[in-house]
Amino acid sequence: MSDRFFPNPMPEFVPETTPSTQQEQQEALTVIHGDSLSKLLAMPHAPLSQRLKRAALDLKETIVIETWGFSRQHVVDFTLYCGLMGTAFLLFKSYQVTHNSNDLTLCSQILKACDAASIASRDVTFICGRAGVCALGAVVAKHGGDGDSLRYYLSQFEKIKLSKNLPDELLYGRVGFLWACLFLNKHLGEATIPSAYTRAVVDEIIKNGRAMGRKGICPLMFEWYGEKYWGAAHGLAGIMHVLMDMELKPDELEDVRHTLKYMIHNRFASGNYPSSEEDRKRDVLVHWCHGAPGVALTLVKAAKVFGDKEFVDAAAEAAEMVWNRGLLKRVGICHGISGNAYVFLALYQFTGNVKYLYRAKAFACFLLDKAHKLISEGEMHGGDRPYSLFEGKGGMAYLFLDMIDPSLSKFPAYEI
Ligand SMILES: [Zn+2]
């Protein structure tokens, strides 16, 4: 098991130093070889965030060259998960942080290529489908003041058809499409996608969940390729997460609440969560996609929505195990250190407890300090798509940008 993650070498908590003399300030900024991680962990927020920002912008340049420049703008994979949309989403994030209009221009060029490459796609979600291209395309067009493109992308979005046999999960299913609607409404105004339209999709999800759920035990359950997954990417955690952002009826909200309680009551003794109903013995995966990290983000949201202490307590317990077993030998958002750092950010935002801010910073600093070296030495896996947003260094760059103002961070394409 230990070959999946590094034993966490970092102290449980390190307060930030506030240098009072010029010499102390200089010392705090000087990274001594061999002790660089400790120095980073004690560094005050301002210089550390400058360092993370510089690293993120350097990474972004590399990612653009690798995914767009070298490919001669030929789109092999358009998706946000592992393809070119991930580069576009990172550029949009970079634009939001730096207001560099070159990022927005490049982002819209990339989106045009993704549009052409996805026009016949039958995948409908934000992360893996056509809805992501059209929704991000519309929002980027709005920011760039390009009314024609805005109308074009919105009209394309309206053409997306959800087939009857669509799954309900996040990466390929109905909630993944709903997330694109949420994204449009957030950036372009609440009624961009009318609630009557999204309501019909929610109805379908609730109907399917109840048909497979067990009343009084676990009221909602779903299947993806024959398995009843629990995690964020394909299962309950992701579906409940998006449902809680929709307008639900009181009985539907109760079903969500009891489904989450069922998960808490059936978690592993370690605080981790099974990846599916069928796989209740293997306490192995500590990923956003499968395991405690994805569930913890949903539990933090449930704590906000329902106010039950049980949810925040369970999220804190999950975060503790992410701290101990979540320093994965991968960099990405989906099943890597970058994604796991967002558990601490969500808990920091909800509780205001600086321990969680430190822990997010610790995971980010570990990546900043060690990822390149560990990957080049073969100690860490750089991802099958090493420059992608969800599996590669794109996720790392995104996390670094989010660490500049941790109070506003959001797990990319998941926390709205
Ligand atoms: Zn994954």
Contacts 24+ apart (CB under 8 A), 159-163: 160/124, 160/130, 160/131, 160/134, 161/124, 162/124, 162/201, 163/122
332: CA distance to ligand 1 center in Å? 8
DSSP 86: H
149: CA distance to ligand 1 center in Å? 33
221: CA distance to ligand 1 center in Å? 21
Judge residue 398's burial from the number of C-beta atoms within 10 Å of its C-beta, 0-12 exposed, 13-18 middle, 19 or more buried: buried
Q: Which residues have CB under 8 Å from 284's CB, separation 6+?
A: 1, 4
Can you read off the two tokens belonging to residue 335?
């099943």
**Percentage of residues in the chain having pLDDT higher than 70:** 96
pLDDT at 70: 84
Q: What is the mean pLDDT of residues 25-39?
A: 69
- Res 66 pLDDT > 90: yes
Range of the domain at 348: 1-11+36-73+327-415
In a domain, 90, yes or no: no
283: CA distance to ligand 1 center in Å? 16
In a domain, 119, yes or no: no
Annotate 223-245 with b (16+ C-beta within 10 A) or e (fewer).
bbeeebbbbbbbbbbbbbbbbbb
404: CA distance to ligand 1 center in Å? 25
236: CA distance to ligand 1 center in Å? 15
- Res 1 pLDDT > 50: no
Q: Is the distance from CB of 342 to CB of 322 less than 8 angstroms?
A: no
164: CA distance to ligand 1 center in Å? 26
Q: What is the mean pLDDT of residues 170-180?
A: 98
What is the 3 state secondary structure string of 164-210? CCCCCCCCCCHHHHHHHHHHHHHHHCCCCCCHHHHHHHHHHHHHHHH
For 355, phi and psi rounded to 5 degrees? -60, -40
290: CA distance to ligand 1 center in Å? 7
- Res 26 pLDDT > 90: no
Instruction: Tell me the CB-side half-sphere exposure of residue 306, using CA atoms within 13 A.
Output: 25
Which SS3 state, helix, strand or coil, does residue 349 take?
helix
Q: What is the dihedral of CA 292, 85, 370, 271, to 10 degrees?
A: 0
pLDDT digits (tens, 9 = 90+) for 304-331: 999 999 999 999 999 999 999 999 999 9
287: CA distance to ligand 1 center in Å? 6
39: CA distance to ligand 1 center in Å? 31
218: CA distance to ligand 1 center in Å? 25
Contacts 24+ apart (CB under 8 A), 312-317: 312/347, 312/350, 312/351, 314/264, 314/267, 315/343, 315/346, 315/347, 315/350, 316/347, 316/351, 317/271
The whole-chain average pLDDT of the chain stands at 95
Can you read off the two tokens belonging to residue 119?
């026009």
Closest by CA to 336, choosing from 377, 385, 404, 301, is 385
- Res 388 pLDDT > 50: yes
Number of residues in the chain: 416
Judge residue 44's burial from the number of C-beta atoms within 10 Å of its C-beta, 0-12 exposed, 13-18 middle, 19 or more buried: middle
335: CA distance to ligand 1 center in Å? 4
Tell me if 218 is assigned to a ligand binding site: no
At residue 73 the predicted structure's pLDDT band, cuts being 50, 70 and 90, is: confident
What total of structural domains would you count in the chain? 1
Q: What is the mean pLDDT of residues 378-407?
A: 96
In a domain, 61, yes or no: yes
Q: What is the mean pLDDT of residues 214-218?
A: 95
317: CA distance to ligand 1 center in Å? 21
Measured distance CA(68)–CA(74) in Å, rounded: 8
At residue 383 the predicted structure's pLDDT band, cuts being 50, 70 and 90, is: confident
Measured distance CA(338)–CA(344) in Å, rounded: 11
36: CA distance to ligand 1 center in Å? 29
In a domain, 217, yes or no: no
pLDDT at 154: 98
Task: Decide which of 22 and 97 is more confident.
Answer: 97
In a domain, 358, yes or no: yes
At residue 31 the predicted structure's pLDDT band, cuts being 50, 70 and 90, is: low
In a domain, 363, yes or no: yes
Can you read off the two tokens belonging to residue 396?
């790392």
288: CA distance to ligand 1 center in Å? 6
pLDDT digits (tens, 9 = 90+) for 138-162: 999 999 999 999 999 999 999 999 9
- Res 34 pLDDT > 80: no
Positive or negative, the Cα torsion across 22, 24, 26, 28?
negative
- Res 47 pLDDT > 50: yes
pLDDT at 28: 60
341: CA distance to ligand 1 center in Å? 14
In a domain, 201, yes or no: no
In a domain, 49, yes or no: yes
At residue 2 the predicted structure's pLDDT band, cuts being 50, 70 and 90, is: low
286: CA distance to ligand 1 center in Å? 10
363: CA distance to ligand 1 center in Å? 17
28: CA distance to ligand 1 center in Å? 36
pLDDT at 17: 74
Tokens 């070296």 label which residue? 373
